[in-house]
């Protein structure tokens, strides 16, 4: 089964979104293979997919019209209700995979699963049961190049290079606590103290992960 994989990062502006939906619809006619469109669409389909946000009716309708015109299927998100967490207790399901019906015929157990959030304000969404097909499409395409340069001087002052076990423990504890707060936010509004804690946890986890990468880079340069 051949596939066309489209990664989307939609703009926030409704006018720009409408242009994107039209471009994708026009782009669709150029391919005969089954589509998977996934990413951050920066829009929800209805009010149930968003908390503490207003003025979404027009954008939601245009987004829904795009999905219908392209004959795409929006699978239920398992494990999570929202994919994005913002300030002031705002929550939205902005990230998803949209698929043509052919995928559901070929892969009857296909589903999208929301994973635990770490340092990003978005969670990862896993499209299960299609790994082999996606790997086949990616093979032979080459790899993306380039790495983001990160200044670690401030982090070096906070972490002991020799205490890798303490570093790993700190990462796990931060991830577990972020998971607890995120799960609570699925059912109720977070308190001001919880929101502040979540912000601090994200900063600490980011620093810990980047420092862990730094340690492994140094180890990779050693002569064994």
Q: What is the pLDDT of residues 161-173, one digit of tens each?
A: 444 666 777 888 8
- pLDDT of res. 19: 93
Sheet holding 50-51, edge to edge: 50-51, 91-92, 84-85
Q: Which residues of the chain have pLDDT under 70?
A: 1, 54-55, 129-166, 214-224
The beta strands (E) that lie in 24-94 are given as 34-40, 50-51, 72-74, 77-78, 84-85, 91-92
- pLDDT of res. 43: 95
- pLDDT of res. 182: 86
- pLDDT of res. 8: 94
- pLDDT of res. 220: 57
d(CA 98, CA 84): 17
- pLDDT of res. 223: 47
Indicate the pTM of the whole model.
0.65
- pLDDT of res. 198: 85
- pLDDT of res. 168: 78
Phi, psi of 68 (to 5 degrees): -70, -45
């Amino acid at each position: 089964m051949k596939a066309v994989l489209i990664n989307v990062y939609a703009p926030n502006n409704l006018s720009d979104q409408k242009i994107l939906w039209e471009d994708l619809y026009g782009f669709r006619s150029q391919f005969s293979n089954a589509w998977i469109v996934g990413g951050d669409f920066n829009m929800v389909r209805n009010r149930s997919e968003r908390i503490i946000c207003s003025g979404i009716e027009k954008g939601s309708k245009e987004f829904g019209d795009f999905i219908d015109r392209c004959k795409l299927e929006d699978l239920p998100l398992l494990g999570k209700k929202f994919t994005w967490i913002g300030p002031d207790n705002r929550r939205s399901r902005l990230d998803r995979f949209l698929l043509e019906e052919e995928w559901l015929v070929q892969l009857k157990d296909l589903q999208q699963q929301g994973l635990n959030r770490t340092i990003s304000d978005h969670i990862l969404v896993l499209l299960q049961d299609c790994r082999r097909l996606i790997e086949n499409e990616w093979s032979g395409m080459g790899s993306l190049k380039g790495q983001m340069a990160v200044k670690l001087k401030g982090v070096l002052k906070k972490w002991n290079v020799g205490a890798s076990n303490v570093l790993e423990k700190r990462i796990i504890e931060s991830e577990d606590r972020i998971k607890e707060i995120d799960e609570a936010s699925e059912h109720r509004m977070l308190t001001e103290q919880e929101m502040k804690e979540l912000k601090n946890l994200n900063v600490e986890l980011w620093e810990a992960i980047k420092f862990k990468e730094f340690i492994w880079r140094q180890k990779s340069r050693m002569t064994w």
